[in-house]
Amino acid sequence: MEQSAEQVWGACLEHIQEHVSRQSFKTWFEPLTAQSIEEDDNLRKLTVQLPSRFYYEWLEEHYYSLLRKTVTKVLGENGRLFYDIVVEQEADTDVSAADQHTVSRPPTRSASTPSTEQSSAGSPQPTGAQPPSRSSSVSSESSDEEGIRNPFAIPGIQKAEIDSQLNSNYTFDRFIQGDCNRLARSAAWAISQEPGGTSYNPFLVYGGVGLGKTHLIQSIGNQAKEEETADTVLYVSSERFTTEFVQSIQRNRINEFSMFYRQIDLLIVDDVQFFSGKEKTQEEFFHIFNALHQSGKQIVLSADRSPREIDGIEERLLSRFKWGLSADVQSPGLETRIAILQRKAEDDNIDLDQEVIEFIAHNIKSNIRELEGALIRLMAHASLHQRDIDLGLAKEVLRDLMKDVQVSLTIEEIQRTVCEYLDIAEDLIRAKTRKREVVRARQIAMYFCKEMTQHSLKTIGLHFGGRDHSTVIHAVKTVEDQVETDEQFRDTVDQIGRKIELRAR
Ligand code: ADP
Ligand code: MG
């Protein structure tokens, strides 16, 4: 007796059930429905209906061989599986389906026209009771063909409308260029013009706090959206990614989490150093990274230090961070600081005398956030006390502020001060020599670099002629120990410390 499509598919499901977890079965196979079974050209063609293109892609990527084996087992060697993808046409009717199957944060589906080939009017529900009025089938056989095997490369998937989470103020237009960020900025611009199409994939921007990393990477997203060079853009901090991932585990929705991220064309992940030590999150991110990268999607990352210096991140993930381009942003020089202040004042519609701008720019060197903070403080004072912003006010207001600011000292400034004080040629401190006085100066300078800058031990070591971080640790320890026991040495170190502080002001 001829079996119905339901019966055949039922037998397939039984087989599948034995080979996948209950959760996967429920998520990926239960929602499929049998549509037809036909004999054609000596082939037995079973067609099942899928609720979205995403299912097709997912099944092809993860369950291709299982499906193939299943169909062969149930239908014999000449059995073939076809998919019929039913994509909803009405945006309004679809929220529930989207919620259940597409994304991890509640979206509304885009109201855009359905994808051309695979779309058909039909029930948006996963178990779509209504037959599609127009459909085309994709044979799982075809998956060996180029372009189809990689399911993410298939055009036409209907995407959920995703809130990009971008701050619209972070644009290229508002990002002042200077020597400190030129490379990063021009790479960022190139990426925005052609996400995934440059060799800068992934693109990693790194540098200290307040130097414009978030601003720059969000600019890529805003520009790509404006010029429509990427359909789906998502900005996410690595903390948020982690939180969402953990929640998705708790709610048993990892598949949705994963699917959600895989539909992004331009994924921007801020502060990836937070992934440090979070193994499971890293693993998930690793897979998402691979899936996106393989299908030519753009990935943009930021970190507070260079990939070499990030600890607690698995090597395989770190090595991927280094695949494309890493570019740093540094502290802005005086001209850039002036330009930034001018631009901010303009944006906020305040008149600032050049001398006030220069005063601030001269005195606040650490980072751009501090620079902005100073300006805001100045404006607040002026309006509160109904005073004009002039140099006098600027001096008053910034005096306090400058005390708090962790002044940005460079390693070189510290080296110079130490060497001047101890009367040693500066280049010796970076050279190989092991002369007693040089070693001592080197150790003291390393100690102050550790105490007074934010640089990592690794970076400090590199600035001392490429020494490694254990040398720095040793130096710091030696100085600390000697300060404890040797009064004269303590005096010397104190005096040098004061000189360095003076230099920083
Ligand atoms: P980070 O992410 O590196 O800590 P942000 O991107 O948050 O730094 O930048 C801090 C502040 O400085 C933001 O308000 C940003 O708009 C501003 N900013 C940073 N770099 C620039 C720049 N090159 N031009 C103008 N504003 C900048
Ligand atoms: Mg940031």
Which amino acid appears at position 16 of this protein?
Answer: I
Answer whether 74's CB lies under 8 Å from 11's CB. yes
CA of 212 to the centre of ligand 2 (A): 7
User: Which-ligand-closest: CA of 211?
Assistant: 1
Choosing from 179, 215, 273 the residue with most ligand 1 atoms within 8 A of its CB, the one to mutate for a pocket test is 215
31 vs 47 pLDDT, higher one: 47
176 pocket-lining for ligand 1 (C-beta < 6 Å): yes
Rounded average pLDDT over 67-72: 90
Indicate whether 162 pLDDT > 90: no
| pLDDT tens-digit readout, 87-109 | 544 333 332 332 232 222 322 22
Answer whether 398's CB lies under 8 Å from 489's CB. no
Which is nearest to 430 in space by CA: 456, 404, 470, 466? 466
213 pocket-lining for ligand 1 (C-beta < 6 Å): yes
Locate 10 and state its tokens. 């039922």
What 3-state DSSP class applies to 147?
A: coil
Give how far the C-alpha of residue 406 lies from the chain's centroid of Cα atoms, to the nearest Å.
Answer: 27
Rounded average pLDDT over 241-250: 92
In the numeric block, the tokens 């600390």 are attached to: 480
Which is nearest to 82 in space by CA: 25, 124, 135? 135
Locate 355 and state its tokens. 């001398």
Rounded average pLDDT over 337-347: 92
Residue 236 banded pLDDT, cuts 50, 70, 90: very high
Q: What is the CA radius of gyration of the chain?
A: 30
444 pocket-lining for ligand 1 (C-beta < 6 Å): no
pLDDT at 231: 92
CA of 400 to the centre of ligand 2 (A): 25
CA of 370 to the centre of ligand 2 (A): 13
pLDDT at 464: 95
Locate 286 and state its tokens. 């690793």
User: Which-ligand-closest: CA of 341?
Assistant: 1
CA of 270 to the centre of ligand 1 (A): 13
| pLDDT tens-digit readout, 170-189 | 999 999 999 999 999 999 99
pLDDT at 133: 31
Residue 5 banded pLDDT, cuts 50, 70, 90: very high
pLDDT at 418: 96
Look up the pTM and report it: 0.56
Q: φ, ψ for residue 226 (rounded to 5)?
A: -65, -40
pLDDT at 129: 30
Instruction: For the beta carbon of residue 48, count every other beta carbon within 10 angstroms.
Output: 24
Q: CB-based contacts of 349: which residues, under 8 Å, 6+ apart?
A: none
Choosing from 181, 211, 306 the residue with most ligand 1 atoms within 8 A of its CB, the one to mutate for a pocket test is 211
Residue 336 CA, closest ligand 1 atom number? 23
What 3-state DSSP class applies to 39?
A: strand
Residue 64 banded pLDDT, cuts 50, 70, 90: confident
Residue 84 banded pLDDT, cuts 50, 70, 90: confident
CA of 159 to the centre of ligand 2 (A): 28
H helices present in 227-350, as ranges: 238-250, 254-262, 279-294, 315-321, 334-347
211 pocket-lining for ligand 1 (C-beta < 6 Å): yes
Residue 170 CA, closest ligand 1 atom number? 16
For the chain, the distance separating the N- and C-terminal CA atoms, rounded to the nearest angstrom, is 93
CA of 214 to the centre of ligand 2 (A): 4
Instruction: For the beta carbon of residue 247, count every other beta carbon within 10 angstroms.
Output: 12
Residue 447 banded pLDDT, cuts 50, 70, 90: very high
Over the chain, what is the mean pLDDT? 81
Neighbours of ion ligand 2 (CB under 5 A): 213-214
User: Which-ligand-closest: CA of 368?
Assistant: 1
Q: What percentage of the chain reaches a pLDDT higher than 70?
A: 82
CA of 369 to the centre of ligand 1 (A): 6
User: Which-ligand-closest: CA of 237?
Assistant: 2
Locate 95 and state its tokens. 């929220």
Indicate whether 366 pLDDT > 90: no
CA of 370 to the centre of ligand 1 (A): 10
**How many whole angstroms separate alpha carbon 438 and alpha carbon 422?**
9
Indicate whether 300 pLDDT > 90: yes
212 pocket-lining for ligand 1 (C-beta < 6 Å): yes
368 pocket-lining for ligand 1 (C-beta < 6 Å): yes
CA of 217 to the centre of ligand 1 (A): 10
Q: Could you write out the DSSP letters of every residue in 151-177?
A: GGG-TTPPPEE------TT--STT---
Indicate whether 157 pLDDT > 60: no
| pLDDT tens-digit readout, 301-329 | 999 999 888 889 999 999 999 889 999 99
Choosing from 306, 344, 369 the residue with most ligand 1 atoms within 8 A of its CB, the one to mutate for a pocket test is 369
| pLDDT tens-digit readout, 382-441 | 888 888 888 888 888 887 666 554 456 789 999 999 999 999 999 999 999 999 999 999
Residue 503 banded pLDDT, cuts 50, 70, 90: confident
